[in-house]
Amino acid sequence: MPGQTVLQSIYKTLGQLENRKGFSAEEKGLEALLLHYRKEPWIKFPRKATKEEDIHLGIDLVVETNDMGKLFIQVKSSGLAKKRFCEKRRRSMIVVVIIKPKDDLDLIWQKIRQALFELRAKILLRRGV
């Protein structure tokens, strides 16, 4: 670590740990979706966001639907991270789901399902349906 202060090194390590935690939460979210999505007839297929979707839209997961196109999910591991994301994207049609390390796949599915129902209702309201 030539040229880095101890504090810079600590911040870099903390950032790497946060990235790993976030990646793990995203993987668990996708795993829960793949396990349960067939329970909802309106869901065609869930998938991980492409690199372009992640970079340009800030999303982690995509749920392809039969009736509304693509629904976007951002996975966060804390309420503070969710708040920060939502403050930057107040008008976006992206749901944010908090997935904690201790959450099992059934609980994660319940969280995602509820968030998707709320997003679908918001979309219908915007469409005037």
Predicted TM-score (pTM) of the model is: 0.79
HEC string of 39-50 equals: HCCCEEEEEECC
DSSP string for 71-129: EEEEEESSHHHHHHHHHHTTT--EEEEE--TT--HHHHHHHHHHHHHHHHHHHHHHHT-
pLDDT in tens, 68-91: 999 999 999 899 989 988 888 777
Please, are residues 59 and 69 in contact by the beta-carbon 8 Å criterion? no
111-125 residue pLDDT tens: 999 999 999 999 999
Distance (Å, whole) CA 58 – CA 73: 9
- Could you state, in order of their start, the residue ranges of all structural domains in the chain? 6-127
What distance in Å separates the CA atoms of residue 42 and residue 10, rounded to the nearest whole number? 46
Q: Percent of the chain having pLDDT more than 70?
A: 84
What are the tokens at 128?
A: 């005037």
Residue 126, classified by CB atoms within 10 Å of its CB into exposed (0-12), middle (13-18) or buried (19+), is exposed
Query: What is the percentage of the chain residues whose pLDDT exceeds 90?
Result: 62
